[in-house]
Chains A and B, each alone.
Chain A
Amino acid sequence: MSNKNSIKIDVNELNLWYGEHHALHNITVPLYENKITALIGPSGCGKSTFLRCLNRMNDLISSVKIDGSVVIDKKNIYDKDVDEVSVRKRVGMVFQQPNPFPKSIYDNVSYAPLKHGQVKKGKDCNELVERSLVDAGLWDEVKDKLNEPGTSLSGGQQQRLCIARTIAVKPEIILMDEPTSALDPISTEKIEALMLELKKKYSIITVTHNMQQAARVADYTAFFHLGKLIEYDETEVIFVNPSNKKTEDYITGRFG
């Protein structure tokens, strides 16, 4: 498809093996800047595995072998001279289960920026923490209890805290792995609204097994099945007029 959107992550011929098992087959997909791209598909189709390729989190598994390229800012992040730690500074991740550190709310947000040397302790840091919590839609609820442990918050609040700490590092891309599947409907709604706000500043790739969510928030949707990318298009096209029969079967609930 031709469009005027700029590509933030250009994935080309990406293959992944877990030992002998070929889990991702020749994935080629341009992921656009300042858009929300949803990855959908039945369980085990490889969407989470694919997501983790975008910030090299699969490197942590020793049996994994990767072939192909993931180009961000004109550089393939899988090149030998790329420091995977620096990749993760620019590509943040929010996980399915909210996992705040057993530290205070303030320390949860300030931990990484301080370590990266992006701010110094004191005024700069306080401002960064406040701004991150504001952007994550959590500031009003926690501004009076920044020293309380992050784990004392409710599930939805914890997830927003995780989002706050991710954006505190000032990434360009945020990966989200089923961010709302462990939350109640109201928290889910809050986070979906947050995603729509965040996409103005960040590029968001989100895995979701909830098709309605994809329909609600995503600009583009990619449908995965058995480790292959079946179809990728604007969300409206995928849901209203899919080109591939498998996509249609999944959308209409015939399997998955």
Chain B
Amino acid sequence: MIKRNNKSKENNPFYDPTLKSRHRSSKRFKKFTLTSLIFSIAFLVFFLYDIISKGTPAFEQAYVSVPVTYNEKTIKNTRKAIDRKYLRVVSRAWLREIPRQVKEDPSLMGKTVNKWALADDQVDQYLKGHYYKLKRKDRALIDDMKAHGAVELKFNTIFFTNGDSKIPEFAGLNSAIIGSIFTLIITMLFAFPIGVMTAIYLEEFADDNKFTQTIEVNINNLAAIPSILFGLLGLAIFINLFGLPRSSPLVGGLTLALMTLPIIIVSSRAALRAVPDSIRQAGYGLGLTKIEVTRDHVLPLAFPGILTGSIIGLAQAMGETAPLIIIGMIAFIPDAPSTVTQAATVMPAQLFTWAGMPERMYIEKTAAGIMVLLTVLISLNALAIYLRKKFEVKW
């Protein structure tokens, strides 16, 4: 920064007072642009902080140690297996598991054992310092139990092993994860070959005629169509016309495949274009056909770029929600699908459903789910960047 020394006004022919306000105005402009940039970054930081602080507590869940009685009567009516005072602090869903516990461990029969039971969601939220709906009696009980070491926060494996549930403490991401996997497999199964073939056709085989131009215009168009309209397409054609099962990974995958085509096509074309023509010329010079040259020489060299583009396309498809809602993937899905034609849900749709649930615990579960989803997305993008750098050939 050059300081303007006013003392030398007299013998400084390059002191120009008219420039002062112009410099000031320019500095203000620069400050404005810097502020904009800082705001963008600040938002990102604030957002991440908010999600992480809301979601981290969800990775732990409250358990209470209570005496559980196992006998014929209590297996039939699980509410009788524990003392009445514990009924509001122990999870109903955990109680429902009692018959299964006896089946797995028959030695429990006829005994009363202290077990770590999953706590009710209100207990969990109370312990974490959030909004809760516990009566004073129950709070006193919990405080007392805590003092005796009968209350603990354990790592929340349920979050990953369970599917959705109307009982908040029992709800997990598992069925949505599996649903996402099925759906994305279908997506890539269709989008990858069709996209790459389209790219190969456009780059290597097509002449510059009306047909080719139409295809290119359509691809540009598809990239800009709002995602919800793809959902309408899926509903009207895949479900109504083709009669494919609603809410299934099959329909969801097909819909997402159409959305992912433009990315794969554009990045594959760029990868093919980057292969120098000399490679092709060498192949032709040896007497190979266009197909042989493309398949054996061009494609392998373009493959890293194609792969990178596909990974990015996959990441984008993973986060899509709107079109899948339209084709029905937001029904309450407690169990993971076992085929692609069963009703399922996907991770972002599950988060959407949870965000709308009244119980407070769902907020932290949703935030935790967001953390999981973002971690996967960041990993995929990092993988794509890593692959691109690793295979970057300098021609």
Contacts and interface: CB of A to CB of B under 8 A. Distances in A.
Tell whether A and B belong to one assembly: yes
Contact of B13 (A73, A85, A115, A117): A73
Contacts, number: 47
A87 interface: yes
Contact of A80 (B5, B13, B15): B5
B18 interface: yes
Interface string B241-285: 000000000000000000000000000000000000000000000
Interface size class of B (residues with CB under 8 A): 10 to 19
Top 8 nearest A-B pairs (CB, nearest first) are A81-B5, A86-B16, A82-B14, A73-B13, A86-B14, A81-B8, A75-B13, A80-B2
Q: Looking at A81, A115, A116, which has the most chain B CB atoms within 10 Å of its CB? A: A81
Given A116-B18, A117-B18, A83 B2 contact: yes
A204 interface: no
A138 B79 CA distance: 100
A77 interface: yes
A83 B19 contact: yes
Contacts of A74: 11, 13
A165 interface: no
B18 A81 contact: no
A83 B13 contact: no
A89 interface: yes
Nearest to B26: A85
B58 to A, nearest CB: 48
B4 interface: yes
B12 interface: yes
Contacts of A89: 16
Interface in B1-32: 2-5, 8, 11-16, 18-19, 22-23
Contacts of B4: 81, 83
16 contacts: A72-B13, A73-B14, A74-B13, A75-B11, A75-B12, A77-B14, A79-B12, A81-B2, A81-B3, A81-B4, A82-B2, A83-B4, A83-B19, A90-B14, A115-B22, A117-B18
Given A81-B2, A81-B5, A83-B19, 10 more contacts: A75-B12, A75-B13, A81-B3, A81-B4, A82-B14, A83-B16, A85-B23, A86-B19, A87-B14, A115-B22
Interface string A47-85: 000000000000000000000000011110101111111
A85 B2 CA distance: 12
A77 B2 CA distance: 12
B30 to A, nearest CB: 14
B14 A83 contact: yes
A91 to B, nearest CB: 10
Interface of B: 2-5, 8, 11-16, 18-19, 22-23
Contacts of A116: 18
A84 B4 CA distance: 11
Contacts of B5: 80-81
Contacts of B8: 81
Contacts of B22: 85, 115
Contacts of A80: 2-3, 5
A116 B19 CA distance: 8
Nearest to B18: A117
A228 to B, nearest CB: 28
A79 B16 CA distance: 14
A116 B13 CA distance: 16
Nearest to A75: B13
A83 B3 contact: no
Given A80-B5, A81-B8, A83-B2, A75 B18 contact: no
Interface in A158-174: none
Contacts of A90: 14
Nearest to A73: B13
B20 to A, nearest CB: 9
A239 B5 CA distance: 46
Nearest to A89: B16
B80 to A, nearest CB: 79
Contacts of B2: 80-84
A86 B23 contact: no
A89 B2 CA distance: 18
Most chain A Cβ neighbours within 10 Å, of B5, B8, B12, B15 = B12
A73 B11 CA distance: 10
B16 to A, nearest CB: 4
